[in-house]
Amino acid sequence: NAGVMQNPRHLVRRRGQEARLRCSPMKGHSHVYWYRQLPEEGLKFMVYLQKENIIDESGMPKERFSAEFPKEGPSILRIQQVVRGDSAAYFCASSRILESSSGNTIYFGEGSWLTVV
Amino acid sequence: GNSVTQMEGPVTLSEEAFLTINCTYTATGYPSLFWYVQYPGEGLQLLLKATKADDKGSNKGFEATYRKETTSFHLEKGSVQVSDSAVYFCALISGGSNYKLTFGKGTLLTVNP
Q: How large is the average pLDDT for residues B43-70?
A: 94
Q: Band of the pLDDT at A104, cuts 50, 70, 90?
A: low
What mean pLDDT value characterizes chain B? Answer: 93
Nearest CA in chain A to B98: A101
Q: Nearest Cβ partner of A101 from B36, B45, B98?
A: B98
To the nearest 10°, report the CA torsion of A39, A41, A42, A43.
-50
Give the SS3 label for residue A2.
coil
Chain B contact for A106 (CB, 8 A cutoff): yes
Of A110, A44, A103, the C-alpha closest to B43 is A110
Q: How large is the average pLDDT for residues B28-32?
A: 86
Report in angstroms the alpha-carbon separations of B45 from A63, A112, A116, B37: 31, 16, 28, 5
Beta strands A75-79 and A53-56, pairing class: unpaired
Read off φ and ψ for residue B85, nearest 5 degrees.
-60, 120
Q: How large is the average pLDDT for residues B39-67?
A: 92
Q: What is the predicted pLDDT for the residue at B1?
A: 83
pLDDT value at B47 more than 70 = yes
Contact B109, B85 (CB under 8 A): yes
Of B46, B39, B41, B40, the C-alpha closest to B92 is B46
Chain B contact for A1 (CB, 8 A cutoff): no
Give the span between the Cα atoms of B51 and A109, in whole angstroms: 24
